[in-house]
C-alpha cells in the first residue's frame, strides 16, 4: 500500500508505508553514524550500548531516507474522520462533490469504524457522539443505506445517547447547512464582533489564532443561515429537525454560565433589530479580514477547519467557485489529502475490503518535523556538516517569518522573526517551533554561519518579546488568556484561548539558555513559573503532547539547561514520578484519558516509542543514565524496533485540544526515540553542538 499526497508546490511528496529506500548520495551515513566512541558511553562490548547503537543506526537510516529533496521532513498527521466527513459535506454544499472523492473518503471512514458501530477521536478511545454522527452522514452521502448492519449499529448507538440534539455545536452547524437542524436552535454569533475594539471583552483577538480564524467566517455563516436541499432525511438519528429544540435549562444569574446563556439570548434578539447597513458593513469587513489572511498557497493559517469555513463564508458573500480566492482555497485543501492505494485487507466494521482511500489531514507539520528530525540525527552522532543537515538548515532558514502577523496586535513594536508549523503560515508563527528550530540550527555546521547567526538573533528577540505577563509563553500569542471566550455557548469544543503552557515554556527556556540567556531576568521568570507549575506528583501537564509524560519530558531538560542542579527537589520529584509510572515492559505510555478530570490515566497507557523517548530525555537530563529505569527504557526501544528502523505506533500521542482533538504525528515514533538513543550514547548535553563546532 502506498500513501501519496496530492499537489505539488509546498505539498508533501509520496511517502511509502513500507520500509523506505536507503538514502542516496550520503556516503554511507548509516555505517559512519555513531562510529566514534562517546566519553559518556561504556565500552563498545557492553550489550545494552551495542543494542542502542544498532537501533540508532537503523532509525537514522530510516529517517534520512524520508527526507525530501528540498531538505524537509513531513510525516502524516492523523486525526479523526470528522476531517473527512466535513470535507465531503463542504463539497456537497458547494456542489462539487464527485464520485471518486466520495468513494475514497467513504472507504477511509468505513475503515475507522469500531465494532460497536461508533467512531472514536483517537486509537483505542471510546466512541464519540459527534464524530459518529458526522461519519454516519458522510457514509449516507456515499450511498450507504441506513439498514446496512454497520449503519444500523451506528444509528442505534447515536439514539441511545440522545441523538443529534446531544451533539456539539459545530456538528449541528454542519447539519443546519442542509436543514437537518434549525439555525434558530444554535447559538448566535453576530458578524458585528469584527468591530469590537481590542480592549473590549470578547473581541476576536481574545480568541486563540485557530479559533479566531474559524469564528470570523462562522459569523458570516450564522448571519446568512443558508440551507441547502437535504439529500436524504436523518430520522434514524433520533431527532426530527423540524421540531423545536428542547428548552435550554438556564443557569443561575450569579454564575458565568448563566450570564453567557442570557447573552446568547440577547444576541438572538439583536438579530431581529440589527441595523441592515451595519450588518452589511460588518459582513464586508469580515470578508476583507478573511481574504487578507489567506496564505500564498490558498489556505488559511495552514490548517483545514478555518479554510473550510472561510470558503463557505466567502461563497455566501458572492465569491463564485472560479474566483481566484476560492480556487486557491479549494486547491489548498487538495494538498491536505493523503491517498492510500491498494487493499487494506479486512476493512472496517462494515466488513468490506477497502480499495483506494483518502485521508484528510487537519494540517501539515513540515517545520516541526524538520527541526525535530535535525535534532534527532545530530544528537545521534550525524556529523554537523552532513549534507542532510545542511539541506534541512537551508530549508528552515528560508521558512523564517519576517513580516508581522496577528501576534503583533498585542506586540505592535516587536520585530518578526519566528517560525510557523506548516509550509505556508506567515500570519501565525509560534514560539514552540521557533525554539526548536533554533536548537536545530545550532546543531549544524553551516557554510554561512553569519546567516544562521542573523536568523537566530532575530528569533531570540521575537521570542523574548512574546513572553506573557506571568513570565511564561503561549504558543501563538502573548497574554491570550481571557476567561471569557471559553464561556460562550458557541465554544463547546476544544480550547479557544492560548494561555502559556509548561511544554512550550520549557522549549523556549531551553533555547534561550542555550543561546547564553540563562541569567536573563526574563528567563529566570520563566524558570520560576515552571517550578510553580509542577504537579504534586512531580509531573508537568503537557498541553501539546500526551500528556504528563510529554510535559515532564520537556521541562526537566529545560530546567537543567537553565542551570538547576540535578539534585534540585523539583528534578528529583520528576524522576520519582517517571520511575513510578514506567510500565513493566520497560517503556512508557499515557492514554489521552489523562486529560479527563479524574486523572487516573496520568502516566498510564500502552508503551509507545515517542512517549518512551520523552521519559528517557527527562531521565537522561536528570543524570539518570546508569539507572535501571533508563536501561529498561533503552532496552524497550531496541527490542520493539522494526527491522526497517521504525517503530509501530498506532496510539495518538499529540494534542490539538486536550481530550477533544488528538493527533498521531507519524514522525514522532522516529524522532523522539532516536534523540533519546543518541543522548544515551553521547550524553544529554546535545544543545549547541553545531554552534560550538562552527567556530
**Among all residues, which ones are annotated catalytic?**
432
**116 CA to centre of own chain:** 28
Grid cell at residue 153: 449499529
Say how far apart CA 328 and CA 600 lie, in whole Å: 46
Cα–Cα nearest to 63, from 8, 37, 26, 38: 26
What angle is formed at CA 661 by the lines to CA 676 and CA 470, rounded to 5 degrees?
70
Q: Is the distance from CB of 423 to CB of 359 less than 8 angstroms? A: no
**Which of 357, 372, 344, 345 has its CA nearest to residue 75?**
372
Q: Is the Cβ–Cβ distance between 237 and 153 less than 8 Å? A: no
Helix (H), strand (E) at residue 654: strand 654-657
CA dist list (Å): 102 to 110, 119, 232, 358, 536: 12, 18, 16, 9, 50
CA–CA distance from 351 to each of 127, 348, 618, 693 (Å)?
18, 6, 44, 57
Strands 77-78 and 357-360: unpaired
> What does the radius of gyration of the chain's CA atoms come to, in whole angstroms?
25
In sign, the C-alpha dihedral spanning 108, 109, 111, 112 is: positive
> Cα–Cα distance between 57 and 62 in angstroms, integer?
9
CA–CA gap between residue 36 and residue 57 (Å, rounded): 13
Residue 516: DSSP 8-state:
I
Q: Rounded to an integer, what distance in angstroms lies between the CA atom of residue 372 and that of residue 419?
A: 13
CA torsion through residues 381, 384, 385, 386, sign: positive
Amino acid at each position: 500500500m502506498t500513501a501519496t499526497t496530492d499537489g505539488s508546490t509546498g505539498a508533501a511528496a509520496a511517502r511509502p508505508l513500507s520500509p523506505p529506500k536507503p538514502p542516496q548520495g550520503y556516503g554511507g551515513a548509516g555505517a559512519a553514524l555513531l562510529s566514534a566512541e562517546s566519553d559518556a558511553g561504556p565500552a563498545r562490548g557492553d550489550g545494552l550500548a551495542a543494542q542502542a547503537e544498532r537501533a540508532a543506526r537503523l532509525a537514522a537510516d530510516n529517517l534520512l531516507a524520508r527526507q525530501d529533496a528540498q531538505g524537509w521532513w513531513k510525516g502524516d498527521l492523523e486525526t479523526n474522520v470528522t476531517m473527512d466527513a466535513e470535507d465531503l459535506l463542504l463539497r456537497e454544499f458547494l456542489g462539487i462533490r464527485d464520485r471518486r472523492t466520495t468513494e475514497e473518503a467513504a472507504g477511509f471512514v468505513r475503515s475507522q469504524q469500531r465494532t460497536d458501530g461508533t467512531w472514536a477521536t483517537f486509537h483505542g478511545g471510546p466512541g464519540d457522539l459527534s464524530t459518529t454522527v458526522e461519519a454516519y452522514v458522510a457514509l449516507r452521502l456515499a450511498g450507504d443505506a441506513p439498514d446496512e448492519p454497520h449503519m444500523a449499529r451506528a444509528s442505534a448507538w447515536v439514539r441511545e445517547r440522545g441523538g443529534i440534539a446531544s451533539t456539539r455545536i459545530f456538528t449541528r452547524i454542519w447539519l443546519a447547512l442542509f436543514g437537518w437542524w434549525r439555525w434558530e436552535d444554535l447559538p448566535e454569533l453576530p458578524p458585528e464582533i469584527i468591530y469590537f475594539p481590542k480592549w473590549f471583552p470578547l473581541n476576536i483577538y481574545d480568541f486563540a489564532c485557530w479559533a479566531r480564524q474559524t469564528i470570523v467566517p462562522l459569523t458570516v455563516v450564522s448571519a446568512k443561515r443558508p440551507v441547502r436541499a437535504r439529500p436524504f432525511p436523518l430520522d434514524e438519528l433520533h431527532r426530527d429537525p423540524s421540531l423545536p429544540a428542547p428548552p435550554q435549562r438556564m443557569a443561575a444569574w450569579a454564575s458565568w454560565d448563566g450570564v453567557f446563556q442570557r447573552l446568547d439570548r440577547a444576541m438572538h434578539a439583536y438579530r431581529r433589530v440589527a441595523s441592515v447597513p451595519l450588518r452589511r458593513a460588518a459582513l464586508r469587513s469580515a470578508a476583507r479580514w478573511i481574504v487578507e489572511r489567506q496564505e500564498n498557497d490558498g489556505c488559511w493559517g495552514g490548517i483545514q477547519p478555518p479554510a473550510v469555513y472561510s470558503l463557505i463564508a466567502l461563497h455566501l458573500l458572492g465569491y463564485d467557485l472560479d474566483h481566484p480566492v476560492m480556487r486557491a482555497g479549494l486547491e489548498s485543501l487538495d494538498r491536505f489529502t493523503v491517498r492510500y492505494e491498494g487493499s487494506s485487507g479486512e476493512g472496517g466494521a462494515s466488513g468490506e475490503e477497502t480499495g483506494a482511500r483518502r485521508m484528510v489531514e487537519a494540517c501539515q507539520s513540515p517545520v516541526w518535523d524538520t527541526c525535530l528530525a535535525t535534532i534527532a540525527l545530530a544528537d545521534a552522532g550525524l556529523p554537523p556538516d552532513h549534507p542532510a543537515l545542511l539541506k534541512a538548515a537551508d530549508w528552515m532558514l528560508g521558512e523564517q517569518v519576517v513580516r508581522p502577523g496577528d501576534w503583533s496586535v498585542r506586540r505592535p513594536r516587536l520585530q518578526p522573526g519566528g517560525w510557523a508549523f506548516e509550509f505556508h503560515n506567515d500570519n501565525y508563527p509560534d514560539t514552540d517551533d521557533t525554539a526548536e528550530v533554533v536548537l536545530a540550527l545550532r546543531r549544524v555546521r553551516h557554510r554561512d554561519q553569519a546567516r544562521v547567526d542573523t536568523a537566530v538573533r532575530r528569533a531570540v528577540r521575537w521570542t523574548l518579546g512574546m513572553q506573557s505577563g506571568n513570565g511564561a509563553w503561549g504558543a501563538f500569542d502573548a497574554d491570550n488568556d481571557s476567561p471569557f471566550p471559553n464561556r460562550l455557548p458557541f465554544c463547546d469544543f476544544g480550547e479557544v484561548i492560548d494561555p502559556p503552557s509548561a511544554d512550550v515554556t520549557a522549549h523556549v527556556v531551553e533555547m534561550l539558555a542555550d543561546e547564553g540567556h540563562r541569567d536573563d531576568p526574563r528567563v529566570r521568570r520563566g524558570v520560576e513559573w515552571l517550578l510553580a507549575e509542577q504537579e504534586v506528583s512531580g509531573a508537568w501537564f503537557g498541553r501539546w503532547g500526551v500528556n504528563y509524560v510529554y510535559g515532564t519530558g520537556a521541562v526537566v531538560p529545560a530546567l537543567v539547561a537553565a542551570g538547576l542542579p540535578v539534585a534540585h527537589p523539583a528534578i528529583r520529584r520528576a524522576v520519582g514520578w517517571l520511575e513510578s509510572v514506567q510500565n513493566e515492559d520497560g517503556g512508557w505510555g499515557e492514554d489521552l484519558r489523562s486529560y479527563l478530570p479524574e486523572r487516573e490515566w496520568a502516566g498510564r497507557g500502552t508503551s509507545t516509542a515517542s512517549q518512551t523517548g520523552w521519559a528517557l530525555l527527562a531521565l537522561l537530563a536528570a543524570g539518570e543514565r546508569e539507572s535501571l529505569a533508563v536501561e529498561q527504557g533503552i532496552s524497550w526501544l531496541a527490542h520493539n524496533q522494526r527491522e526497517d528502523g521504525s517503530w509501530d505506533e498506532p496510539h495518538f500521542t499529540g494534542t490539538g485540544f486536550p481530550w477533544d482533538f488528538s493527533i498521531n504525528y507519524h514522525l514522532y515514533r522516529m524522532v523522539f526515540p532516536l534523540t533519546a538513543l543518541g543522548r544515551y550514547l553521547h550524553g544529554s548535553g546535545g544543545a549547541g553542538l553545531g554552534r560550538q563546532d562552527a567556530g
